[in-house]
Amino acid sequence: MQIKNKGITAGVLIISLAMPLFGQTENPTAVSPNTPYQRQELQAGEHPLIPVLKWAKAGRPKIAELKDYTALITKQETVNGEKQEAQMMELKVRHEPFSVYLKFRYPQDVAGQQVIYIKGQNNGNMLAHGIGLQRRLGTLPLDPNGLIAMRGNKYPITEIGILNLVDKLVEVGEKDVKFGECTVNYYEGIKTTEGRECTMIEVIHPVPRKNFIFYIARILVDNEYNIPIRYESYEWPTEKDPEPPLIEIYDYQKLRLNVGLTDEDFDIKNPKYNFPPLSF
């Protein structure tokens, strides 16, 4: 074990390595929602993931305190052994009550679809509409965990967002620290296209084990705001497939924090959205 220091169709996104590695932040809140990112040193005898877990746990409360945010989220996932096409969506998230608005930008066959989910409302359903001929069906209430909503997605809309991503990282990390065979690399001084300085944390499990869910994972953290803006993970390479097969990538671009979202931002009656009438 070692550390190297180097200078919905309502779901969320994963992109191939050929696509940009870095997210973008745009007009962030004037007040930093978190303490700046600082890499913690590995103590003698510690598992290499312990500093990463400490960072995630320390930063979570401040992320939870965010009232809302908007972003462009790009996702690509491998579902049931099949690599899905990358998707980009306009995203709005409000933490209380947990609310999500999505509008698909690409691929073309779903561009224009919209989805709204509010925890505790609409009988637990998300409200969504299709495009083209499917739009004539109106706005449909769909079970977030049902077959239609989950088609081509690894996770339901209820698990979207940065806070859920951090919780997932902690959950996986706490399982991994029970085992060895782990390398953690830090790549510092990485900048987004907007010039935001970031640190990339790379976790590698060199030997496949049933306890590990990935071969390599990378987390891109905005240093100033201490927020992960990208996560990607890959399977172990094989003789048949020497390039590590994609598991998932989620990339948050044009991130804006505490923008003051209101109930109207999560209302199908919002005239800016032009949802078709409810089908019931």
Q: How far apart, in whole angstroms, are the C-alpha atoms of residue 3 and residue 202?
A: 10
Asked if residue 29 belongs to a domain, the reply is yes
CATH number of domain containing 141? 2.50.20.10
Collect all residues with Cβ–Cβ distance below 8 Å to 83 and sequence separation of at least 6.
76, 77, 245, 246
Domain around 167: 2-266
Does the residue 278 lie in any domain?
A: no
Q: Comparing C-alpha atoms, which of 99, 239, 248 is closest to residue 160?
A: 99
Task: Let me know the angle formed at the C-alpha of 144 by 138 and 146, rounded to the nearest 5 degrees.
Answer: 90
pLDDT at 36: 74
Helices (H) and strands (E) in the chain, counts: 3, 13
Is 280 inside any structural domain? no
Residue 218 inside a domain? The answer is yes
Number of domains in the chain: 1
Cβ(183)–Cβ(55) under 8 Å? Answer: no
Whether residue 279 is contained in a domain is answered as no
Cis peptide before 107 (omega within 30 of 0): yes
pLDDT digits (tens, 9 = 90+) for 85-128: 999 999 999 999 999 999 999 999 999 999 999 999 999 999 99
For the chain, what is the mean pLDDT? 87
- The pTM assigned to this predicted structure is 0.86
Position 76 in a domain: yes
- Nearest-angstrom CA–CA distance, 16 and 86: 8
Residue whose tokens read 């973008």: 24
- Residue-wise pLDDT for 167-196, tens only, equals 999 999 999 998 878 999 999 989 877 788
- The span from the CA of 80 to the CA of 154, in Å, is 9
Within a domain: residue 94?
yes
Q: Is residue 271 situated within a structural domain?
A: no
**Residue 33's pLDDT band (boundaries 50, 70, 90)?**
low
